[in-house]
Amino acid sequence: LAKTTQPISMDSYEGQEVNITCSHNNIATNDYITWYQQFPSQGPRFIIQGYKTKVTNEVASLFIPADRKSSTLSLPRVSLSDTAVYYCLVGERYSTLTFGKGTMLLVSP
Amino acid sequence: DVKVTQSSRYLVKRTGEKVFLECVQDMDHENMFWYRQDPGLGLRLIYFSYDVKMKEKGDIPEGYSVSREKKERFSLILESASTNQTSMYLCASTAQGTTEAFFGQGTRLTVV
């Protein structure tokens, strides 16, 4: 399983765009990149998944460069309710889900 | 609304007790997982199952066992609870060939 590295924490203000970058230098050909969000005392929630280039849904965008050695989760115009831990996972769709320690995003007024 | 349900939200058990944590999913998913989450350590995989009666060890299986007799139910068993098993336990499921997991609400277990 490819190892991922992401910042331990990030701070932002309401209304700003937040970009969280994840490094995964040894990503394999069959690996997908998946992001989860976790609020306190709740289980993680799937946000977005991609293989290459850009993926967008109603919650976020995921940017993946051509070499796929990193990815960036972009949250447009964050609000206080986006305060959470964000996890980047890399692996085959048939593999287990290995979570790292994630990035704690704190959004302030 | 898809759902993964864990039998208890909070549980307090004594050292040495046998503890059962139950998880049920209603999405006909093939894969089910048990994690524990501790401050500063993130989510760590205990066991997972990719089919009925099939199980695989995760990263920290010591002191735990699992049972999957029916597709929708995955049980985590603490054979003899110890204080270092005090933690938040999370169950999840995925369909075959996907990484979109659905998690239960978690069980906060305290072993005294």
Q: Which residues of A touch B108 (CB under 8 A)?
A: 41
Structure-token match 């066992």, residue found? B65
Q: How far apart are CA A8 and CA A27, in angstroms?
A: 21
* CA–CA separation, B19 and B81 (whole Å): 7
Residue of A nearest to B99 (CA): A93
Give the C-alpha separation, B57 to A76, whole Å: 39
Listed in sequence order, the residues at least 6 apart from B70 whose beta carbon sits closer than 8 Å to its beta carbon are B52
Give me the torsion for CA of B44, A19, A34, B48, rounded to 10°.
10
Find, in chain B, the residue whose alpha carbon is nearest to that of A31: B99
Among A47, A92, A97, A99, pick the best mutation site for testing chain B contact (most B Cβ within 10 A): A97
What is the pLDDT tens value at each position of chain A, 109 positions in all? 568 999 999 999 999 999 999 999 999 998 999 999 999 888 999 999 999 989 999 999 999 999 999 999 999 999 999 999 999 999 887 777 888 889 999 999 9
Tokens of A4: 């991922």
Task: Give B2's contacts in chain A (Cβ within 8 Å).
Answer: none
How confident is residue B1, by pLDDT bands cut at 50, 70 and 90? low
pLDDT in tens, B24-53: 999 999 999 999 999 888 899 999 999 999
Q: Check residue A5 and report its DSSP letter.
A: B
Answer yes or no: do A102 and B33 touch at CB < 8 A. Answer: no
Query: What number of C-beta contacts closer than 8 Å exist between A and B?
Result: 61
Q: Do A46 and B58 touch (CB under 8 A)?
A: no
